[in-house]
């Protein structure tokens, strides 16, 4: 049984000529039971506006609306999808607004009312870029309560990774600094049309009221990007471009200058960011 009275997604794709474009990272979810499940993983949204990036033919959008989201604001770059999304908007009066354009260029805030959640199934490069932006505003808490995002499984593992593991890096630090981040669903390639080469996973990130440790977002982002860019090198060498006194800053943060980035936990990266910021 379908979750709504609109046509099945395969039919929507045929009617509107939405052959998937690789250049836009289009791998569509066609199973409306699955999209409703992902919508539920984002939380009970009766009292929330949901920002959806990349609705495509609207599978997740329909899941969010049928599961009761107060309002959905969807941003889609591919204009071919707009007629299909207009049909969904007509079926859910006053609950779906679609903005046409690149989510990296659009500020959605003037179209949203608090409280706000974010849900998306996005191409990999746009997804990580947006995630880093959502995690690093200068002030905290952010505009959103939670993010429910589909990633390649390998990226999802980088978000939730522990120190010492291969996947541990900038994404783990920025995510775990200000959120509780968990993989909540694993999906095989066959869940999508066309199937991508790799498996996917949904990550749910809940904003903490305050970051786990104080640090300046820009500095922490810069330090971790620099440290993990050369993750095999000792930190006194990989970070030497950040300060002439880098060894002093490392020691002040309880880090041995000979240690490597993947050995350093979140607390000590934050201490290092504070030490560098205080001297800049």
Quick check: 152 binds ligand SAM (CB under 6 A)?
Answer: no
Residue 96's H or E segment, with its range, is strand 96-100
Tell me which residues in 18-77 interact with ligand SAM (CB under 6 A).
24-29, 53-56, 59-60, 75-77
Stretch that binds ligand SAM, among 86-94, 120-128, 158-166, 216-224 (CB under 6 A): 120-128
Q: Helix count (H) and strand count (E) of the chain?
A: 11, 9
Structure tokens at 47: 């009292």
Number of residues that bind ligand SAM (CB under 6 A): 24
Q: H-type helices in the chain, by residue range? A: 9-15, 32-41, 59-66, 82-91, 124-135, 153-160, 170-178, 217-229, 235-238, 246-252, 266-278
Closer of 3 and 234 to ligand SAM (Cβ): 3
Q: What mask, x for binding ligand SAM by CB under 6 A, covers residues 79 to 118? A: --x--------------------xxx--------------
Q: Which is nearer to ligand SAM, 25 or 169 (CB)?
A: 25
Please identify, among the stretches 122-130, 151-159, 166-174, 256-264, the one whose residues bind ligand SAM according to the rule CB under 6 A.
122-130
What sign results for the dihedral spanned by CA atoms 241, 170, 154, 151?
Answer: negative
Alpha carbons 137 and 237: distance in angstroms, whole number: 29
Residue 73 phi/psi, 5-degree rounding, is -110, 115
- Residues at the contact surface with ligand SAM, assessed by CB under 6 A: 24-29, 53-56, 59-60, 75-78, 81, 102-104, 121-123, 126
């Amino acid at each position: 049984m379908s979750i709504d009275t609109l046509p099945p997604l395969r039919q929507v794709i045929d009617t509107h000529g939405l052959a998937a474009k690789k250049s836009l990272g289009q791998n569509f979810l066609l199973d409306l039971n699955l999209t409703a499940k992902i919508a539920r993983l984002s939380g009970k949204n009766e009292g929330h506006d949901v920002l959806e990036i990349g609705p495509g033919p609207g599978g997740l959008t329909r899941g969010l609306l049928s599961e009761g989201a107060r309002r959905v604001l969807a941003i889609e770059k591919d204009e071919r999808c707009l007629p299909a999304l207009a049909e969904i908007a007509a079926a859910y009066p006053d609950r779906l607004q679609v903005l046409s354009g690149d989510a990296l260029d659009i500020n959605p805030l003037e179209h949203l009312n608090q409280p706000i959640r974010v849900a998306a199934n996005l191409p990999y490069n746009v997804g990580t870029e947006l995630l880093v932006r959502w995690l690093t505003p200068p002030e905290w808490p952010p505009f959103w309560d939670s993010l429910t995002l589909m990633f390649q499984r390998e990226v999802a593992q980088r978000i939730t990774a522990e120190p010492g593991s291969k996947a541990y890096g900038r994404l783990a630090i920025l995510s775990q600094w200000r959120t509780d981040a968990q993989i909540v669903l694993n999906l095989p390639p066959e869940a999508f049309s066309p199937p991508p080469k790799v498996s996917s996973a949904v990550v749910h990130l809940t904003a903490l009221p305050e970051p786990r440790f104080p640090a300046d977002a820009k500095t922490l982002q810069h330090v971790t990007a620099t440290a993990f860019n050369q993750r095999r090198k000792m930190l006194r060498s990989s970070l030497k471009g950040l300060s002439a006194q880098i060894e002093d800053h490392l020691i002040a943060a309880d880090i041995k200058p000979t240690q490597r980035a993947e050995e350093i936990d979140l607390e000590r990266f934050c201490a290092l960011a504070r030490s560098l910021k205080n001297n800049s």
